[in-house]
Structure 1
Amino acid sequence: MIMVTTETIPNKNVIEVKGLVTSSIVQSRNIGKDILSGLKSIVGGELKSYTEMLEDSKVTVKKRLIQQAEQAGGNAIIAVRFELSAGQGTSELIGYGTAVVIE
């Protein structure tokens, strides 16, 4: 399935709009990793455990968007967007776009 952040796909025609597809995942952060990340933030550098958690979240959200688009009869998703919000001890990743049929 083609997923793009643009409104169009080069060399493809959108022949039908199937509608909005959305997905989200909320994950809690590990207290042990929070402590280690807090120490890491003092000296600087990437917080690899959080990066991995975010990458896992993106994979899950993309899979769910694809499932919704397929259920709606689409074969592509345009105007894909992701939003991340972090709360106390949790993070939420939201993805959305428009399921379409392209030829």
Structure 2
Amino acid sequence: MMNELIVTTTDFIPGREVIEILGIARGSTVRARNVGRDIIAGLKTLIGGEISEYTKLQANSRDQAFQRMIKDAKVLKADAIINVRFNTSMIMAGASEVMAYGTAVKLK
């Protein structure tokens, strides 16, 4: 039997059978921009191109939400998380929530 939690965006795992749905596994984080990044981003909007400061902020937010979702699935004693999705929403000006969620399942 596998010890590693399987995480996938599909609704099935080839060669494995879902025998129980445990519920939704979710993880989220709320992050705010900072003045230093905003100044640099403002300058980059004048010249164009990727705003790497925000790209890094979003990547870190997604990673943290993803890890929290996995932790939640382990609390549920899941073997896998299927149908994984990410969602981002603005909480207030300058702050957004990143959420990772999926269906925690037991496998045969």
Alignment TM-score, normalising by the size of structure 2: 0.88
> Once the 2 structures are TM-superposed, how far is the Cα of residue 85 of structure 1 from its aligned partner?
2.1
Q: Paired residue for 2:6?
A: 2
> Once the 2 structures are TM-superposed, how far is the Cα of residue 49 of structure 1 from its aligned partner?
0.9
Unaligned runs of 5+ in 1: none
Q: Paired residue for 2:106?
A: 101
Secondary structure of 2:63's aligned partner: helix
Name segments (4+ residues, structure 1) moved above 4 Å: none
Residues 7-33 of structure 1 show CA distances to partners (whole Å, capped at 9, x for unaligned) of: 111121111111111221111101111
Identity of aligned residues (%): 42
Note the 1:43-58 alignment, pairs <5 A: 43-58=47-62
Task: Identify which range, 44-53 or 86-95, moves more after superposition.
Answer: 86-95
Unaligned runs of 5+ in 2: none
Q: Distance in 2 between matches of 1:46 and 1:56?
A: 16
Q: CA RMSD in A?
A: 1.2
Alignment TM-score, normalising by the size of structure 1: 0.92
